[in-house]
Amino acid sequence: MRTTTTIPVVAFGLFAAALPAAAQDTLTVYTYESFTTEWGPGPAIEEAFEAECDCDLEFVSVADGVALLNRVRLEGENTEADIVLGLDTNLINDARETGLFAPHGISLDNIDVPGGFEDEIFVPFDYGYFAFVYDTEAIDTPPESLTELVEAGSELGIAIQDPRTSTPGLGLLLWIKAVFGEDAADAWSELRDNVVAVTPGWSESYGLFTRGEVPMVLSYTTSPAYHRIDEDTDRYRAAAFSEGHYLQIEVAGRTVKGQDNALAGEFLTFMTGPGFQDVIPETNWMFPAGRTSEPLNPAFDDLVEPAETLLFSPEEVAENRNAWVDEWLSIMSQ
Amino acid sequence: MTESNKAGAGVKLEGLLFSYPGGAEMHFDLSISASDRVALMGPSGSGKSTLLNLIAGFELPSAGRVMIDGRDVTGSPPHHRPVSMIFQENNLFAHLTVGQNVGLGRSPSLRLSAQDRAAVTDALARTGLGGKEKRLPNELSGGERQRVALARVLVRERPVLLLDEPFASLGPALRDEMLDLIAGLSDEQAMTILMATHDPGDAERLSGTLVFVEEGRIADFGRTQAFLSGWESPAFNSYLGARTGSR
Amino acid sequence: MTAFRAQRGRLAAGGAALAGIGLLLGGAFLGLAWEAAASWEGALAAFDGYLLRVTRFTLWQAGLSTILSVGPAILVARALARHPRFWGREFILQLFAVPLALPAIVAALGVLALYGRSGYFAPLFAATSGDMWPGIYGLSGILIAHVFFNLPLATRLCLASLETIPADQWRLSAQLGMGAFASFRFIEWPVLRASLPGIAGLVFMLCATSFTIVLTLGGGPGATTLEVAIYQALRFDFDPARAIALTLVQVALTGTIVLALARLGASTMGDASLPVASRRALFPGAGEKVLNTTLILLALLFVAGPMLATVVAGLAADLVRLAGERPVHQATLTSFILASLAAVLCLMVSGALIMTRRALELARGARIPGFLERMSDSGAAMVLIVPPIVIGAGWFILLLHFGDVFAFAPAMVVAVNAVMAMPFAVRVIRPAYDAASARHEKLCLALGISGWNRFRLVDWPALRRPAAVGFAFAMALSLGDLGVIALFGSDDVRTLPYLLLQRMGSYRTADAAGIALFLAILCLGLMFIAGRLGKSRT
């Protein structure tokens, strides 16, 4: 019997050892999953910032942007996060209302995003336009508008993301609202036939797409740049939609807990400078929100230019998000 | 079945070889004349049941021939052999009525003609089960259940009847009654009977011939009376002695 | 006095075990009730069209899965029963026991690797239909995976009931010349009819409470079951009110099924004890032989396919790199520690309940069992009414009030997995304990051996082997589980199934396949050990 009593004790010891030790100078950044993968911006940014601050930058990742906000809400005041990176303008009102975020206290002079951006709490770090990216080997003539896509029927399989977890998923919801207005629900009922998979995060959808499981995926106008630059192929393109494209501005914020950590402020300043911004275009595959030290790769000049930029105000989104998501859920569960 | 079958049939086993996986080989040579009533006796595991199963076709020999009524039935499936068999139990389907259980002897899919139905009713009457046609087996006593099996044998009208310790679970009085019933009814169809039993009393009451089986062979063969009076076979005597001694 | 003291120790142990289970369930319901009281309007509002559709889909997919599993299972079981010496029959039956031990997430991956849009069969399907293979996300994927799990289970259960047909009845049917149809009608169907409601009910319940399969193969809100919806309401939506509404429906649903099963007298655990097939006189015609062989081979291919795909895809992964990865090491260590703790806790709780039940049984003599005895008897099985996700959800909501819920992950995983494995452990250990007690009870009283001494000297030697079986079983169950950890998991506390889910999510399919193979080997290894230990006991 001695063995059975010692096992738990030893096991708990081992377990405690397996948990990461809390170091003195650590900055904990919560972000979404595709940010921290080895081909995402995470590793390069970690290296650059750690060289500058002589500290330990630790990323904790969840599926996608909306899940990020939920995670922080679930943890409440006990959150480990100093910085939450990867919310977007659609979420900043909800995020602000949690009371878990503190003013950034830095200058946003370096920031240059379409339509401009002013906020006491959140700092933009990149932006992009949602678009459907397609495989030219599977689709000869892509739809030329959102309306055409909606009417395409089940012939055209797409992967999208869940607006309950993912900022692109929420972006599509808003895009369709912006284009179809009152008729958005009908548009979704029609679009439902095309939807092969609804994934919790962007990376799962994009994975289905690159594996050839779906010929078209909800992503960004900038996504083809990745295939052009890294894979030297024109095979994957974004479809330009005549109604215009919905804009996403991704932001980061300092938590109340991070207020006490000097590294948090340092990180936000670093984020708006070239050390961070240089990494973004060719790892996160978005447009930088601040100045980069060199011009972007010409592949970025060759992308779909939105005929019109669509964007709801954060207040409008905050007011309607729950109702619109419920409506979406109700249609998609049929 | 036709009238011609009511003449009984001889059973002949010629050089039958058989073994269960991993078991010793059994070897049977035996000739039984038409309408004889034979008791198979021998220790447990000696091969009595196997012998019956080989005749019925439930087991197939690795060599040798089974001849019934002069016909080689070695390769025939059980239902093509002129044989009926009554087991110790499980002779009836619990969810079918007495009448249906007997009716299966005429048609395995229970498609019965008026003539078949009449035969069923008649067989039940002759086995003392008149009026119990609609009963289910679990409403009957053990003895009555074996009578139903017997009634089915009657409607099948096969010339050979195999009995595998059919009354082991019945009391002595009931056994005698059943044995007499079988003797009487089998006379009508001049059946050849082989009965495996442990009870010398059963053998004496029913059989004229006794076959002693030991270690997968026919150890001895002769008149029942001669065996039971003790001057036929020392091996048989010691088997009986061991049995009585063990009681 | 000695007798009384001996009982008191055992009663205290059982009381503590029941209190522990009560705390686990009670805490969950307290969490739900608390939140419901705080936001009852929200909970009420969540009884909406979405809830209705999710419930409908849950029942619909469970019903279809049951029909598709049990229907063919009858035919396959019958084919196996009619060919007791079919070549490789033993192997097939062994293989059919494997899905029971295979973690659902591994099976889901195997099914995807085989039938997915870029699976091994995709080129074949595309060539035959002339169109691009649409893949199996959604209902079709769920059904395939459910049938993969439940066809073998139902086959084994049907076969077990067919094996109860006495050999004489097969002989009788051969002598009477019954064909395949007549012998099905008169011999096989009556036996099957008696056991089918129980088998179908069990399969229905397993499919209605299936979480991992629906989570990984559902492909969106159109194919979501109650359990997955509960998970999404908490982890996606941060909507406890909706989670409560969903949970209530889920508990009502499983409660109804479990009660119905109990009335049928059916097993809620789905184990088939298959004796070696007796020799039976069967003479199927040539046509039937071909048909049965085809049926058996088809079932074999269907069941073996995803397993083979798991192995092939797993071996294709960069196993060397995976073996050197820190997250894999950590997840393996975490999995082993949590599973071992769960297994230890499971044994302690099961043992306490078993001893209490026996002590109460002895104390009451011929009187009617009291409440405590009944609780320690069937009470163990009643935990199956409350699915792990529901317990997890309740505690998740409760713990929200006490800080970082994710910090409670290890405790929750251990507790819930221990309780979930308990009914199985009880069934393994109880017969051994009761038998040992029947032999030794009087002697112990006479010699005054009680308490710890009695456990050490008398009970433990008899229990060692069944306890080891229970331990291996509980550990395998816990190792492969993706229920509570899906709710509570985070980068800090990752088990192997959770890591697997994450790798699947971040389209590192090859990694996922490698981990799946590793996990499958671990679980099957443990089950194999449990089986060996269980068998060598005489």
Q: What residues of chain C, 268 to 327, have a C-beta less than 8 Å from chain B?
A: 279, 281, 283
Q: Report the chain C residue with the minimal C-alpha distance to residue B81.
A: C175
Provide, as residue numbers in chain C, all residues whose Cβ is less than 8 Å from the Cβ of B138: none
Helix, coil or strand: residue C272:
coil
CA distance C283 to C170: 10
C177 DSSP assignment: T
- CB contact C59 to A (< 8 Å): no
Cα first-last separation, chain C: 36
The string of pLDDT tens digits covering residues B54-66 is 999 888 899 999 9
Task: Considering only the beta carbons, identify the residue of C177, C190, C279 that sits closest to B79.
Answer: C177
Q: Is A282 on the interface with C (CB under 8 A)?
A: no
Q: Say whether pLDDT at A4 is over 50.
A: no
Across chain A, mean pLDDT equals 86
Closest CA to C170 of B116, B124, B91, B122: B91
Cross-strand pairs, B207? none
Q: Which chains touch B (3 or more CB pairs under 8 A)?
A: C
Give the pLDDT score at C430.
86
CB-nearest partner of C166 from B59, B77, B90: B90
Q: Are C42 and C373 in contact (CB under 8 A)?
A: no
Q: Shortest Cα distance from A330 to chain C (angstroms)?
A: 5
Strands A287-288 and A122-135 come out as antiparallel
CB-based contact (8 Å) between C344 and chain A? Answer: yes
What is the C-alpha to C-alpha distance for residues B95 and B106, in angstroms, rounded to an integer? 18
Q: What is the CA radius of gyration of chain A?
A: 21
* Widest pairwise Cα distance in chain A: 75
C 397-436: CB under 8 A from A: 400, 403-407, 410
The answer, for A90 touching chain C at a CB cutoff of 8 Å, is no
Report the alpha-carbon distance of residue C23 to residue C19 in Å, rounded.
6
- Cα separation, A216 vs A122, whole angstroms: 32
Distance from CA of A70 to the nearest CA of C (A): 6
Mean pLDDT, chain B, integer: 88
- For C178, nearest residue in chain B (alpha carbons): B108
Per-residue pLDDT tens over the stretch C30-51: 888 887 787 777 777 778 788 8
Tokens of C100: 């029971």
pLDDT tens figures, C170-195? 888 888 888 888 888 888 998 888 88
Q: Which of residues 17-76 of A touch C (CB under 8 A)?
A: 18-20, 33-34, 37, 60-61, 63, 66-67, 70, 73-76
C371 inside 8 A of chain B by CB: no
Q: A7 pLDDT exceeds 70?
A: no
Do A333 and C341 make contact, defined as CB atoms within 8 angstroms? no
Interface of C with A in 463-522 (CB under 8 A): 490-492, 502, 504-507, 509
Q: Cβ of B75 under 8 Å from any chain C Cβ?
A: no
Angle at B132 between CA B131 and CA B133, to 5 degrees: 95
Backbone dihedral region of C451: left (phi > 0), alpha (psi from -120 to 50 degrees) or beta? left
- Please choose, from the candidates C483, C519, C141, the residue with its C-alpha nearest in 3D space to the C-alpha of residue C310: C519
A10 in reach of chain C (CB within 8 A): no
Concatenated DSSP letters of B36-63? -EEEEE--TTSSHHHHHHHHHTSS--SE
Count Cβ atoms below 10 Å from residue A17 Cβ, excluding itself. 9
User: pLDDT tens digits, residue range A95-150?
Assistant: 999 999 999 989 888 899 998 888 999 999 999 999 999 999 889 899 999 999 99
Any CB–CB contact under 8 A between C222 and chain A? yes
Which position has the token pair 């002590």? C359
Give the Cα separation of A203 and A32 in Å (integer).
10
* Strands of B75-170, DSSP E: 83-86, 160-164
Q: Which residue of B has its CA nearest to C185?
A: B109
Q: Given this model, what pLDDT does residue A15 score?
A: 44
Q: How far apart are CA A235 and CA A223, in angstroms?
A: 12
Q: For residues A146 and A180, what is the distance between their CA atoms, to the nearest angstrom?
A: 9
Contact state of A197 with C403 under an 8 Å Cβ cutoff: no
Gap between the Cα atoms of C442 and C445, Å rounded: 5
pLDDT at position C279, please? 65
Q: CA A278 to CA A296: how far, in whole Å?
A: 9
Q: B109–C281: do the CB atoms touch at under 8 Å? A: no
The fraction of chain A above a pLDDT of 70, given in percent, is 93
CA count, 13 A, side-chain hemisphere, C5: 11
Q: Tell me the range of B37-46, C218-227, C487-496 where mean pLDDT is highest.
A: B37-46
Contact A297, A229 (CB under 8 A): yes
C194 touches chain B (CB under 8 A): no
pLDDT band at B84 (very low <50, low <70, confident <90, very high): very high
pLDDT at res. C10: 76
- Cβ-based neighbour number of residue A49 at 10 Å: 20
Whether C270 shows a pLDDT value over 70: the answer reads no
pLDDT at C426 over 70: yes
User: Comparing C-alpha atoms, which of B124, B69, B72 is closest to residue B101?
Assistant: B124
Q: Is C452 on the interface with B (CB under 8 A)?
A: no
C-alpha to C-alpha distances, C223 to C61, C201, C364, C507, C516, nearest whole angstrom: 9, 22, 52, 21, 24
Copy the structure tokens of residue B103: 């009716």
| Cα A216 from Cα A227, distance rounded (Å) | 15
Phi-psi region of B191 (alpha: psi -120 to 50; beta: other; left: phi over 0): beta
Give the closest residue to A133 by CA, choosing from A235, A232, A39: A235
Find chain C residues with C-beta within 8 A of B83's C-beta: 175
Q: Do B90 and C168 touch (CB under 8 A)?
A: yes
Query: Contacts of residue C187 in chain B, CB cutoff 8 Å?
Result: 93
CA dist., res. C36 & res. C241, Å (int):
7
Q: Do A165 and C116 touch (CB under 8 A)?
A: no
Q: Do C236 and A75 touch (CB under 8 A)?
A: no
Q: Is the pLDDT of residue C450 over 80?
A: no
C102-112: per-residue pLDDT in tens?
888 899 889 98
Query: In this prediction, what percent of chain A has a pLDDT beyond 90?
Result: 49
Q: State both tokens at A216.
A: 């078209």
| Direct distance between the N- and C-terminal alpha carbons of chain B, in angstroms, rounded to an integer | 44
Interfacial C residues in 131-190 facing A (CB < 8 Å):
132, 134-135, 137
Tell me C50's DSSP state: H
Q: Which residues of C touch A204 (CB under 8 A)?
A: 504-507
- Does the reported pTM lie above 0.95? no
Residues A285-331: tens digit of each pLDDT:
999 999 899 999 998 988 999 989 999 998 899 899 888 998 998 89
Q: Using CB atoms, pick whichever of C178, C190, C283 lies closest to residue B108.
A: C178
What is the rounded distance in angstroms from the CA atom of residue A251 to the CA atom of residue B9? 100
Residue C236 near chain A (CB below 8 Å): yes
Cβ of A210 within 8 Å of Cβ of C400? The answer is no
Tell me chain C's radius of gyration from C-alpha atoms. Answer: 24
* Interchain CB distance below 8 Å, B79 and C174: yes
Q: Flag whether B touches C (3+ CB pairs, 8 A cutoff).
A: yes
Tell me the pLDDT tens digit for each residue of A232-291.
899 999 999 999 999 999 999 999 999 989 999 999 999 999 999 999 999 999 999 998
CA nearest to C475, candidates C421, C515, C518? C421
On whether any CB of chain B is under 8 Å from the CB of C64, the answer is no
Q: Give dist(CA B106, CA B112) in Å, integer.
A: 7
- In this structure, what DSSP letter does residue B128 have? T
| Interchain contact C451–A (C-beta under 8 A) | no
Contact C223, C139 (CB under 8 A): yes
The partner residues of A288 in beta bridges, in order of sequence, read A126
The residue of B53, B60, B79, B110 whose CB has the most chain C CBs within 10 angstroms, and thus the best one to mutate to test that interface, is B79
Which candidate from B58, B105, B110 shows the least CB-CB separation from C174? Answer: B58
| Predicted pLDDT at B171 | 83
Task: Give the nearest chain C residue to A156 (CA atoms).
Answer: C134
A7, A18, A195 member nearest C220 (Cβ): A195
pLDDT range class, residue A2, cuts 50, 70, 90: very low
Q: Is the Cβ pair A70, C235 closer than 8 Å? A: yes
Section A191-218 average pLDDT: 86
**Is pLDDT above 80 for C236?**
no
The pLDDT value given to residue C220: 78
Report how far residue C337's alpha carbon sits from residue C331's, in angstroms, rounded to the nearest whole number: 10
Q: Does C54 touch chain A (CB under 8 A)?
A: yes
Length of chain A: 334
Phi-psi region of C57 (alpha: psi -120 to 50; beta: other; left: phi over 0): alpha
Cα(C190)–Cα(B210) distance, integer angstroms: 40
Binary contact (A164, C237; C-beta < 8 A): yes
Give the rounded percent of residues in chain C with a pLDDT score beyond 70.
Answer: 91
- Do A194 and A146 form a contact (C-beta atoms < 8 A)? no
- C175 and B96 within 8 Å at the Cβ level: the answer is no
Residues 175-234 of A with CB under 8 A from C: 192, 195-201, 203-204, 206-208, 210-214
Mean pLDDT across chain C, nearest whole number?
Answer: 83
Instruction: Give tens-digit pLDDT for C63-85.
Output: 999 999 999 999 999 999 888 77
Residues 6+ apart with CB under 8 A from A210: C507
By C-alpha distance, which of C382, C376, C416 is closest to C396? Answer: C416
Which chains are within 8 Å of A by 3+ CB pairs? C
Neighbours of chain C (3+ CB pairs under 8 A): A, B
Strand runs (DSSP E) across A168-229, as ranges? 195-199, 216-220
Interface membership of B89 toward C (CB under 8 Å): yes
Does A197 sit within 8 Å of C333, measured CB to CB? no
Q: Quote the CA–CA distance of C77 and C81 in Å, as a whole number.
A: 6
- Asked if C507 lies within 8 A of A210 by C-beta distance, the reply is yes
